[in-house]
Amino acid sequence: MEGVFLFPFADYWSFYVGFTLFVLALLALDLGVFHREAHEVSFKESLTWSIVWISLALVFNFIFYKYAGWKFETDERLLAIPGFDPQSAAKQVGLEFLTGFIVEKTLAVDNIFVFVVVFSFFAIPLKYQHRVLFFGIIGALIFRIIFIAMSSMLLQYHWVVIFFGVFLIITGFKIIFAPEKPMDPEKNPVIKLFRKIFPVTPKIEGQKFFIRKDGVLYATPLMIALLFIEVSDIIFAVDSVPAIFAITKEPLIVFTSNVFAILGLRALFFMLAGVVNKFKYLKYGLGVVLVFVGLKMAWLNNAFGGKFPISWSLIIILSIITISIVYSLIKTKKE
């Protein structure tokens, strides 16, 4: 089945449109109803929303699996492929979505470390952080769609697959062995350029990203924080999008699993922000995961006849993440 898409865009463009409208409706409900008034997000609220977003992803995963089983049994194009088993293929794509979602959710923890630093650096009050992250998520979704579309085209070429595999391996080793450098958002070239275009107010102006004073348009610290978060997500997408293409070559699975992982990122931030320092050894687990998925792209998939078993991938990734979390908690408690 090498080179064959189970969900070709030409047949599933309406699903992409419908799924996107569904996500936009969820975001509108989130900001327009549940978070219309600026307030501090409590641990209980963030935990509830985390459960909601994860539950939505798992429900979608189950429906997607059942739909794939039905669709594959009626798709003459796929049934004509020698040795094609509809139910095995449905199980495969179901596990690919679940594994991709877990990988993206885990890599999103890196974003949380950045969010903590940015909000602290720009002194963003707790009650306004949700608004910044909300628009940050919208920007992240747009950039992920662009990255996924580009990657799905580029990864048709074998040398590009090898390149990204090696890139992920190098990135993973860098995370594991390179010393951490303190982050200074003010030194970011994008922030410097933005400050040359727009003057920035010295203090927070409520929930506003821009204000006008004496006919001059000013950006607020909220806008600077949002801009840095968007830039950071683009950098993270360079790692995370190729990483999930190591799990599956189906753009539809990459797109949906990415979206569900990003949608729950805000709730995950508010739930973990206060204890994120207890997971300081998790970064080594993330590094090992990137090395593993890089090896899948560059070597393991070919070594296993074109596809490393997805069930093995799921077990390996979950084991790495669990071990790094448990080790972090034990070491932090001792220290």
pLDDT tens, position by position, 223-277? 999 998 888 888 888 888 888 898 998 999 999 999 999 888 888 888 887 777 7
Question: Distance between CA 246 and CA 332 in Å, rounded?
Answer: 33
Tokens read off for 176? 């594991």
pLDDT in tens, the chain (335 residues): 555 789 998 899 999 999 999 998 888 887 666 666 767 778 888 889 899 999 999 999 999 999 999 999 998 888 888 888 999 999 999 999 999 999 988 887 777 878 888 888 888 888 888 888 888 888 888 888 888 988 888 888 889 989 999 999 999 999 899 877 777 777 778 888 888 888 988 888 888 899 998 888 999 999 999 998 888 888 888 888 888 898 998 999 999 999 999 888 888 888 887 777 778 888 899 899 999 999 998 888 888 877 889 999 999 999 999 999 899 888 877 76
Please tell me the predicted confidence (pLDDT) of residue 34.
Answer: 65
- Residue 286: what are its φ and ψ, rounded to 5°? -60, -40
pTM score, two decimals?
Answer: 0.87
| Domain residue limits, the chain | 11-179+235-334
